Chains A and B, each alone.
Chain A
Amino acid sequence: MDVNHGLMDTIAAIATPVGTGGIAIVRLSGPDAFAIAGRMIKLRKGTALEEMKSWSMALGDVLEQASGRLIDECIVLVMKACRSYTGEHVVEIQCHGGTVVAEKVLSLAFKLGARPAGPGEFTKRAFINGRITLDEAEAVLDIVTSSSEAALFQAGRRLKGELGAMVSRWEGQIVDLLALLQGAIDFPETIEAERSEIQGMLEGLKNDITAVLERAPLGLALSQGVEVCLVGRPNVGKSSLFNALLSRDRAIVTDVPGTTRDVLRETTEWYGLPVVLLDTAGLRETGEVVEALGVERAQTAATESNVILYVLDDTQGICAEDVKWLDKWQGRNCLAVVTKTDLNKSQVDIEQLEQICGDSWVYVSGATRFGVEDLKKKVQSMFAGVGDPEALAPGSARQVDCLERALDEIEAAIEYLNQGWTDDVIALALEAAAGALMELTGKQVSGETLDRIFSRFCVGK
């Protein structure tokens, strides 16, 4: 075995700290970094990403593979092997806003074959490839120290709280099943594996993991920032409210309808809730190409956000257009926000508003900051009482990736059972499922299974 070619895979992670700054960087390192980035990103200048020179930057669009839908525009920085931090091919993708977009970009990289980087793994690679000194590496690696192989090479951030307990329980159940199947193979006289029992346990696991994965978007939002999106017709005061909610002049505010074109993102915090606040172009039919693109993005941003703040202008009242949008977003954490109340025009018919969205509405004024804090509290209270977000739902794309792989393997095991495959094949899928969960708990499949066989079953001559 050639010792120099062990690091064959490509790793990816978000390189910027959670929840800060206007830019998040997704970093890929490894032999396939260019190929993976090339499939995710279309450069504006039309050339292929792989052809970029080392240490050069370019503007591009991150596109979702399946739909071709735009995820974000980005700046790509390309560094070729030997001349990068890790000594391998490195691509850094600078995305907008906090970590929400970055997580989406990261999941895409995983789908295309990158592997979640373990803790300290970029540093480790840098060290192994001779880019940084031992002292520098050890400083980073001290925090990763653990005696198990799995912990060194796979384990990442451990899960906390209830979710952590749940994952450990699932892992325990799968190892039990493996112990049963493999125990029955190694000690056929004393252990018998009932297929119906195995099937029942697998179905249970499948349901449990599916349920938790359904909560994944919430978990991601809660740990990396709840996306709150301001939408409404042009010139209703979205940008003033955006600035008021951020307590600074971030967005340009004018009387000219259609001032905001692209989606603006800012991270902030409302009473302890991490928030990514989005300002969008006003919703209207327009012949202008750039504005039309902005309107399209506004709708997408609203649809994908966790909370929609639908802004109504108290000087204009509710029009048919507003009713259409409010109806569309009912039941989707949509709050109607009546602005410009300082002007005392009271054009918004509250009775009509309550018919559409019940009590999900508030009065504010961007100019006087009236009601702004109440609005923040109201949004915060939607997510209050959930407890430690990371404890309940997977809080990172890496964790989601592990759980999804485990679920895939469990579904495969169920399928093999139904198709009548033999026990050795079912064990194969279960081993992979346990392996995926153990990336979250940092154990090793083989040792665990043997220990379990001996502790659970009375075997031997």
Chain B
Amino acid sequence: MAGNAFDFDVLVVGSGHAGCEAAFAAARLGMKTAMVTMDARNIAGMPCNPSIGGPGKAQIVAEIDALGGEIALATDKTAIEMRLLNASKGPAVQSLRAQVDKHAYSAYMRNKINELGITLVEGMVTEVMVRHGRAYGVALGDGSVIRSRTVVLCTGVYLESRIFIGSEVIESGPIGEPSAKGLSACLADLGFQLGRFKTGTSPRILKSSIDWDRLVREKGVDKPVALSFMSVPKLWDKDVCYSTYTNERTHEVIRENIDRAPLFDGTIKGVGPRYCPSIEDKVMRFPDRKRHQLYFEIESEESDDVYILGLSTSLPEDVQYQMLYTIPGLSRAKITRPGYAIEYDYMVPSQISTTFEVQGLEGLFTAGQINGTSGYEEAAAQGLLAGVNAVMKLKEEEPLILGRKEAYIGVLLDDLVSTVIEEPYRMLTSRAEHRLFLRHSNADMRLTPAGRRVGLVSDERWQAFCRKAELMDKGRTLLEHTVSGKAVKDLLRSPDKRIEDFFDAVPELGILPDEVLSEIEIEAKYAGFIERQDREARRLRRHLDKKLPEGVDWRRVRSLSRETIDKLVRYRPRTIGKALSVGVSPSDALVILAMLRGGKLGRGPAGRKA
């Protein structure tokens, strides 16, 4: 193929959170980058709640930041309030959550697109252009073709999407936006397995139609904080979040109208996430609960929309009104956009490799909800890695791959590529076996060197990192000082000892910056537990982590059952453990282990298959 005929090096399909990080990374690494979107006004939109962060997710945001991504900086710039969740549950699980001005956020990201010289194209991608097992661009709905050396699909919830409001079914993306037609069929024709997921959101109501004084104000964090390592922490406590509860009357309305809920009458076939149930789900599944908490979040200073957290629904709009009227403070509520459920196609993520490149189709990468995930943060993380790895591939450099022990992003990646995802995948701290080590506060120490290696970390960030790393080393040395015969770092292992208690004994400690002090304190205090968590994780994964070579033609392997071969071909598990989790029988797993041992599993003569 002619190498000089390309319009772009990296072409990103989609302008959401994955698409932005992917395009930004590519452009920052010097690539000629394009972003194709169906609606150029809709950049980094927040069709669900206007917030970023929370348990597991804030850690991901910090990791993206440490690698040189944008989401944390954008959030710090456009947040209207921040809260610190799990403040008392341990330093590893403490998580910031920012309530963001969604319009300001979108504007910030649009500016970045311009600043980085990314070509923004408006149009609907209907086809990935493929020749000789390699993607070389995309075709748009109008028949035009854009040629690019790599393509990153970040199509979000738009693939063949339909929304449901009561009995109304609309072929559409999130309200007011089109559905992406044709691309799903193209991917299926290329031999990829697609699935269908469902998610939903709550009604937005008009700010002025709420009796705010009947709601309880939620306070922001009481100390200066920031998501990014490069932002100056500041105080956030604005008058933008309130809460109240549903009541028996609300639940009565839902029960009376349950036959009009598409989730319950079989209309919706897609699988929805358990961690994000609709209010009708909650009421029907937990009949004993007398009330459910609701939060009211102002979406932007520029709009009158208020998001209601806790009231996701696809009941008809008239029922949504009846429900709202039962809630104190909402007796004259005006819906600006009804709640709805949305169904969409995703690509079964075990078809991607650890670089986010689709297996069997070189040059095509996928990131975000197309991979079966949920959440802005999860999408952004994948976008960053897919963008970086598209560039690494073009530059023929080592890809950026993160492991479960290094980052929440590594947990996300590993779970995606090698387990069967049965519901939209959201990060939870419970998924990370190394969670005591994977803290927001040490994301820079964990990942900034990797970001620097690929070229995404600016000199400014790198210098700040090196300064901090140096001070951390100094601090660790100071903790070796003994007080009445014991090293300070060992004394700190007691839960009630604080690093300040040793300022008198080791005065040099007192002059270290707060973020360094708190980090070396956590390291010392949790050292024993972190080691232990490590050991446990290693013990569990001892056999399971054995890698299966990529590109084996399993059909040529004798003595495996047909069923096993089908599963190996379909899910392409990376490890023995994952082979088991996709249903390969233990005795076949043993056959594979034995062959690994005997070096009998090389690449088949046929090499990679599409």
Give the B-binding residues of A (Cβ under 8 A): 1, 3-4, 6-9, 124, 127-130, 134, 137-138, 141-142, 144-149, 151-153, 182, 184-190, 419-425, 428, 431-432, 435, 446, 449-450, 453-454, 458-461
Complex-state Cα separation, A418 to B587, whole angstroms: 46
Whether B596 lies near A185 (C-beta < 8 A) is no
Whether B89 lies near A184 (C-beta < 8 A) is yes
Residues of A within 8 A of B583 (CB): 147
Complex-state Cα separation, A188 to B295, whole angstroms: 13
Whether B310 lies near A461 (C-beta < 8 A) is yes
Whether A3 lies near B590 (C-beta < 8 A) is no
Whether B591 lies near A134 (C-beta < 8 A) is yes
Q: Whose C-beta in chain A lies nearest to the C-beta of B540?
A: A435
Whether A142 lies near B593 (C-beta < 8 A) is no
B543 interface residue, CB < 8 Å from A? yes
Residues of A within 8 A of B546 (CB): 1, 3, 6
Cβ of A126 to closest chain B Cβ, rounded Å: 10
Interface string of B478-503 (1 = CB under 8 A from A): 00000000000000001110000000
Q: Whose C-beta in chain B lies nearest to the C-beta of A150?
A: B540
Whether B559 lies near A185 (C-beta < 8 A) is no
Residues of B within 8 A of A419 (CB): 494-496
Q: Which residue of B88, B93, B293, B597 is within 8 Å of A4 (Cβ)?
A: B597
Whether B430 lies near A446 (C-beta < 8 A) is yes
B276 interface residue, CB < 8 Å from A? yes
Q: Which residue of B85, B202, B289, B586 is within 8 Å of A144 (Cβ)?
A: B586
Residues of B within 8 A of A446 (CB): 430-431, 433
Complex-state Cα separation, A450 to B419, whole angstroms: 15
Complex-state Cα separation, A130 to B598, whole angstroms: 8
Do A423 and B587 form a contact, CB below 8 Å, given A458-B285, A460-B276? Answer: no
B292 interface residue, CB < 8 Å from A? yes
Cβ of B272 to closest chain A Cβ, rounded Å: 10
Complex-state Cα separation, A130 to B449, whole angstroms: 42
Complex-state Cα separation, A127 to B594, whole angstroms: 7
Q: Which residue of B90, B309, B526 is within 8 Å of A423 (Cβ)?
A: B90
Give the interface size class of chain B: 35 or more
Complex-state Cα separation, A134 to B588, whole angstroms: 10
Residues of B within 8 A of A450 (CB): 428, 430-431
Whether B89 lies near A422 (C-beta < 8 A) is yes
Q: B575-604: which residues lie under 8 A (CB-CB) from chain A?
A: 577, 580-581, 583, 585-587, 589-591, 593-594, 596-598
Whether B89 lies near A145 (C-beta < 8 A) is no
B99 interface residue, CB < 8 Å from A? no
Which are the 9 A-B pairs with shortest beta-carbon distances?
A422-B90, A424-B90, A454-B274, A423-B89, A460-B276, A152-B586, A3-B596, A182-B430, A186-B428
Residues of A within 8 A of B32 (CB): none
Complex-state Cα separation, A421 to B436, whole angstroms: 13
Whether B532 lies near A6 (C-beta < 8 A) is no
CB<8 Å pairs between A and B, sample of 24: A3-B596, A8-B542, A124-B590, A128-B594, A142-B587, A144-B586, A152-B580, A152-B589, A153-B542, A185-B86, A186-B275, A188-B55, A420-B495, A420-B496, A422-B89, A424-B435, A425-B529, A428-B532, A449-B430, A450-B428, A453-B430, A458-B292, A460-B276, A461-B202
Q: Whose C-beta in chain B lies nearest to the C-beta of A141?
A: B587
Known: A185-B55, A458-B292, A460-B312. 11 other contacts (CB 8 A): A6-B545, A128-B593, A130-B598, A153-B542, A190-B293, A422-B495, A423-B90, A450-B431, A458-B277, A461-B202, A461-B276
Complex-state Cα separation, A148 to B274, whole angstroms: 23
Whether B577 lies near A147 (C-beta < 8 A) is no
Whether A428 lies near B586 (C-beta < 8 A) is no
Whether B590 lies near A186 (C-beta < 8 A) is no
Q: B50-95: which residues lie under 8 A (CB-CB) from chain A?
A: 55-56, 85-86, 88-93
Residues of B within 8 A of A4 (CB): 597
Residues of A within 8 A of B598 (CB): 130
Q: B345-363: which residues lie under 8 A (CB-CB) from chain A?
A: none
Q: Which residue of A142, A425, A454 is within 8 Å of B90 (Cβ)?
A: A425
Q: Whose C-beta in chain A lies nearest to the C-beta of B201?
A: A461
Whether B590 lies near A127 (C-beta < 8 A) is yes
Cβ of B522 to closest chain A Cβ, rounded Å: 11
Q: B28-66: which residues lie under 8 A (CB-CB) from chain A?
A: 48-49, 55-56
Complex-state Cα separation, A7 to B590, whole angstroms: 13
Whether B593 lies near A147 (C-beta < 8 A) is no
Residues of B within 8 A of A3 (CB): 546-547, 593, 596-597
Cβ of B276 to closest chain A Cβ, rounded Å: 4
Q: For B293, B597, B598, which residue has the most chain A Cβ atoms within 10 angstroms?
A: B597
Whether A137 lies near B93 (C-beta < 8 A) is no
B282 interface residue, CB < 8 Å from A? yes
Do A185 and B93 form a contact, CB below 8 Å, given A128-B597, A141-B590? Answer: yes
Interface string of B292-310 (1 = CB under 8 A from A): 1101000000000000011
B244 interface residue, CB < 8 Å from A? no
Complex-state Cα separation, A189 to B293, whole angstroms: 8
Q: For A141, A186, A190, which residue has the most chain B Cβ atoms within 10 angstroms?
A: A186
Residues of B within 8 A of A138 (CB): 587
Whether A461 lies near B312 (C-beta < 8 A) is yes
Whether A153 lies near B543 (C-beta < 8 A) is yes
Residues of B within 8 A of A190 (CB): 293
Q: Whose C-beta in chain B lies nearest to the C-beta of A431?
A: B536
Residues of B within 8 A of A449 (CB): 430
Residues of A within 8 A of B593 (CB): 3, 128
B544 interface residue, CB < 8 Å from A? yes
Q: Whose C-beta in chain A lies nearest to the C-beta of B536?
A: A432
B193 interface residue, CB < 8 Å from A? no
Whether A147 lies near B580 (C-beta < 8 A) is yes
B518 interface residue, CB < 8 Å from A? no
Residues of B within 8 A of A187 (CB): 55, 275
Complex-state Cα separation, A458 to B275, whole angstroms: 8
B326 interface residue, CB < 8 Å from A? no
Q: Whose C-beta in chain B lies nearest to the C-beta of A193?
A: B89
Q: B503-558: which residues lie under 8 A (CB-CB) from chain A?
A: 526, 529, 532-533, 536, 540, 542-547
Residues of B within 8 A of A425 (CB): 90, 436, 526, 529
Whether B536 lies near A435 (C-beta < 8 A) is yes
Residues of B within 8 A of A151 (CB): 586
Do A189 and B590 form a contact, CB below 8 Å, given A423-B90, A454-B275? Answer: no
Cβ of A156 to closest chain B Cβ, rounded Å: 14
Whether A130 lies near B580 (C-beta < 8 A) is no
Q: Whose C-beta in chain B lies nearest to the C-beta of A148?
A: B580
